[in-house]
Structure 1
């Protein structure tokens, strides 16, 4: 039994699309109220959680909250910089498999970017550190058909003082896959910024949306050219992980057609190739390809121990993904 448990744990770790802070345990249930608003002093006449509550209903800095979705308690962290004003943008940052909201907050630099940009950041936690993006991926969330789309939708609605035209999602690997599913199944986001991910869900009739996608062309886990990645198990077993998407350029072409975009303009700077299509109604679809980069968030904090143990790829230094994504998101509010 101990051997089976250990093997299951290793398999789950091998699903990782991001580095993990090994001091960060699975998040404990938050003591915040179940309406999802972190504990904070209320502005006069505007109790936390009510529609139209000001951004000041959130405490400055990082706070925790929880929601009940489909009978399951879901947890997340919020970050409100002192610079955030009423009607601030919101960026939802989705960790990769085996990650957590706290790990994503520590690794990718979104708090510091929010300080400069005056926006709010939400860091939700997947069930057993995974997100449900298709019947075959990924892990416990897919196996148990967890309602992650419902969770993120309810989370966005619970954050007070947000400009509904400037709600965005970004994420890495399994989190990037969820960003694509959210783009397909909701209309609450103005733009998404997937990193090292692909689209595995059915997406028959999506609404137009702005997209910036960043990917290394040597990614072995979510291959740039499409097809099965090194951690794909064809969706079998206790922890399904069928990672078998289209090539990244063809996926981006699909979204350009959805947005009615013309042919993109392409520029190259060292190992970074950027293709941008300027689309109707102020939208854009952009692909940034990092030559020689693997499965990682460019510019993030490295975790050498995790890389040695689990063969995770070190972050590229050719690009700092976080400010690059925020610059794009900020320029593309909902039409």
Structure 2
């Protein structure tokens, strides 16, 4: 298979981020709030439609679609709380991501807000033709996610310097696309994700990145190339190439490599306190490492000696927007 082409140069002019700011701020129509509103703690602003402590489902109209997200607002969240967007993988859902990765308990402990958006038809239009009807219909998921952040900032007390995005698989690819085509997040956490060679990412804003990828992944290939997952074709850049791209965006030093088998971590320090890290999990596949894990839905083992959720939060907490 031919090697993946280089990512487009940062020098190429792009109006993507500027074009997205207006719909992110103005293109939101709140349709309703469902689910339990338990108590009045948390980082509520106090307005008539402000969120209260607990987990709610919010509805937004974006691109003519009714879009949803589950939002967990801990009682421990004070004013100017951080926000973490957690993007499910293909064929997943926000509620599934909430159950699977342990973010709510960590949010309760650390006092940050976590939101689990739903991709249309259980997929994200993450670029390069992936994935599903969202890609086929060219759904504008970047505008949906930026609009969701703007709406939550209006309805809760959030720190705009501490907005982060984490994703799994198709969700990790969407997290990269969000960073490529908007400037809403300070840091990205991508598990088993990639940037497709066809994804437009010519001039992204600097952002900290922590990528986690199993070297034996057969769905989003660690070394790059094409794979088929259900009805979706996934064209992947190699994980080290994606990290090298973000190091170039951020102007980082060469990475320092450390090994604690099966983990190999390449860490690059960057100006203004940013960082780009790649954690490679030798011999493991398409999975989210977790002490609570056993096996993936496809029967692959999950590495239980490391907690990806805790590592992502530690990385986010250390890398607000400068």
Is TM more than 0.5 here? yes
**Shift, 1:176, TM fit:** 0.2
Give the Cα–Cα distance (whole angstroms) in 1 for the partners of residues 44 and 200 of structure 2.
45
Give the corresponding residue for 1:329.
316
2:271 is aligned, of 270, 280, 295, to: 280
Give the corresponding residue for 2:30.
35
Classify the secondary structure of the residue corresponding to 1:252.
helix
TM-score w.r.t. the length of structure 2 is: 0.83
Unaligned runs of 5+ in 1: 1-32, 50-56, 233-238
- Equivalences for residues 130-209 of structure 1 within 5 A: 130-159=123-152, 160-200=156-196, 201-209=199-207
Classify the secondary structure of the residue corresponding to 1:74.
strand
Give the corresponding residue for 1:253.
244
**Shift, 1:61, TM fit:** 1.8
Deviations 1:121-150 (A, max 9, x none): 000000010000125110010011111111
Give the corresponding residue for 2:118.
125
Classify the secondary structure of the residue corresponding to 1:187.
coil
TM-score w.r.t. the length of structure 1 is: 0.80
Q: How well do the aligned residues superpose, as a CA RMSD in angstroms?
A: 2.2
Structure having the higher strand fraction is: 2
Whether the 8 Å contact between 1:37 and 1:48 is mirrored in structure 2 is: no
**Shift, 1:45, TM fit:** 8.5
Change (3 A) 1:300 1:194: farther
Whether the 8 Å contact between 1:175 and 1:197 is mirrored in structure 2 is: yes
Give the corresponding residue for 1:9.
none
Aligned length: 285
Give the corresponding residue for 1:53.
none
Give the corresponding residue for 1:105.
98
Deviations 1:96-144 (A, max 9, x none): 0010000000000000110111000000000010000125110010011
Is residue 2:293 matched to residue 1:297?
A: no
Unaligned runs of 5+ in 2: 1-27
Give the corresponding residue for 1:80.
73
Whether the 8 Å contact between 1:171 and 1:193 is mirrored in structure 2 is: yes
Give the Cα–Cα distance (whole angstroms) in 1 for the partners of residues 29 and 108 of structure 2.
27
Deviations 1:149-187 (A, max 9, x none): 111011001112110000000000000000000000000
Give the corresponding residue for 1:228.
226
1:91 is aligned, of 84, 87, 95, to: 84
Whether the 8 Å contact between 2:168 and 2:192 is mirrored in structure 1 is: yes
Whether the 8 Å contact between 1:217 and 1:292 is mirrored in structure 2 is: yes
Whether the 8 Å contact between 1:37 and 1:58 is mirrored in structure 2 is: no
Whether the 8 Å contact between 1:61 and 1:80 is mirrored in structure 2 is: yes
Whether the 8 Å contact between 1:100 and 1:129 is mirrored in structure 2 is: yes
Classify the secondary structure of the residue corresponding to 2:264.
strand
Classify the secondary structure of the residue corresponding to 1:294.
coil
